[in-house]
Chain A
């Protein structure tokens, strides 16, 4: 598989170096912002019950870079990348739930800091990311992708905005569809790690600028919290007790309680910041 992908990549690069990657399947331009449905021949409509029953969660969880964009659009000046702690999170651990969460935090930190971090720190985090993916049994191809990124960064062929875009694709396109030997719970727990880090940084930014009136729009996401709780509390025959996972479960239940309030206040933002921080400091 490794060789096949590498060879195919080389062949495709040779064929496409000076032209767009691939012609779209249809030339007709897509419509934008459509509410006018008069030209459609057959329109299917969906009831609330039908939507709720069939909904899949693959696109449910916002990513830290998206949180940062929302902060910026709300007029909050703090940059999340500047607030990321300078720490070395291990992605080797016997508890795979914990490895998945740790990997998610490292991924979030990478995406948020990639544009301006020193090369050696980005490379170090990528090494941790690769280690985490390997530990949870992700396929060889994600390892190949990370190796390619490491080589390109080492050669100064990948940096700045392009590096951010590569990280964006890695976390937004490859990770959500990841197949792992460990099971379907891995991706949600990687997402949980990234989201937890994002929520911690966002609540920190709101605190730093005393912008508590923006908390509802930034931090109230009960469906996301419920989604994570489902995977953290899942039954598993070989699941061993783990203090980080136990703290994560406690934090998610605190966040669920906070999200149920009609309006988030200063105290709620502080609760979110401390509850998420309580997990992150254990990593």
Chain B
């Protein structure tokens, strides 16, 4: 059950709350999608470590360094806006070894991971396929845990 305050926050994108360093129009859609996933995750006891939003051009990527605890379960969730058809999500260990890669061809990939050791890992988000005649896309990412 959501109260009105919570509903308001859930639908207000980060850019309208005055946060985010490069809040472009297409990032708001990715923000809203991601927030919907975050709120839905609370129902299953997922909590959020960090959420962030960026803009990617064709073939561009962002790399995020994350500390993950052994014993905790993690889900990395991504939402792309309508400008992107396929976003890839790849998890590497600190030595660069690829541990997992999403197997979907869509703009909302996610990866589940339960580390055996507490360590830093790399998360790569990659704009694999943008819509025709589009220069960039908004992409939002959240690291959630339980």
Contacts and interface: CB of A to CB of B under 8 A. Distances in A.
B126 to A, nearest CB: 5
A74 B71 contact: yes
A145 B32 contact: no
Nearest to B89: A34
A148 B11 contact: no
Nearest to B3: A157
Interface in B38-72: 38-39, 42, 47-53, 59, 61-67, 69-72
A142 to B, nearest CB: 7
Interface string A109-152: 00000000000000000000000000000011110010011011
Contacts of B133: none
Given A5-B16, A220-B118, A43 B51 contact: no
Contacts of A152: 3, 5
Interface stretch (A6-14, A94-102, A204-212, A246-254): A6-14
Interface stretch (A83-91, A166-174, A232-240, A268-276): A166-174
B65 A66 contact: no
A48 B123 CA distance: 12
B135 interface: no
B50 to A, nearest CB: 4
A29 to B, nearest CB: 8
Contacts of A168: 42, 47-48
Given A24-B33, A24-B108, A26-B107, A158 B20 contact: no
A21 B35 contact: yes
Contact of A40 (B50, B67, B100, B105): B105
Nearest to A38: B103
A41 B105 contact: yes
Interface string A2-43: 000100111011001100111111101011111111111111
Size range of the interface on A?
A: 35 or more
B55 to A, nearest CB: 14
B101 A34 contact: yes
B69 A17 contact: no
Contacts of B88: 40, 43-44
B18 A141 contact: yes
B12 interface: yes
A179 B18 contact: yes
B130 interface: no
Nearest to B61: A44
B18 A140 contact: yes
A221 B54 CA distance: 26
Interface of B: 3-12, 14, 16-21, 29-30, 32-33, 35-39, 42, 47-53, 59, 61-67, 69-72, 77, 79-82, 86, 88, 90, 92, 95-96, 98, 100-113, 117-118, 120, 122-124, 126, 128-129, 141-143, 145-146
16 contacts: A12-B7, A12-B12, A21-B11, A22-B33, A31-B110, A33-B100, A46-B61, A47-B96, A58-B50, A66-B72, A69-B146, A73-B71, A172-B48, A176-B50, A178-B19, A217-B70
> Shortest 3 CB-CB distances between A and B: which pairs?
A48-B96, A34-B103, A141-B18
Given A21-B39, A40-B128, 17 more contacts: A5-B16, A9-B9, A20-B36, A24-B33, A24-B79, A26-B108, A30-B106, A34-B104, A37-B101, A41-B129, A49-B96, A55-B64, A62-B69, A69-B72, A74-B70, A148-B9, A217-B118
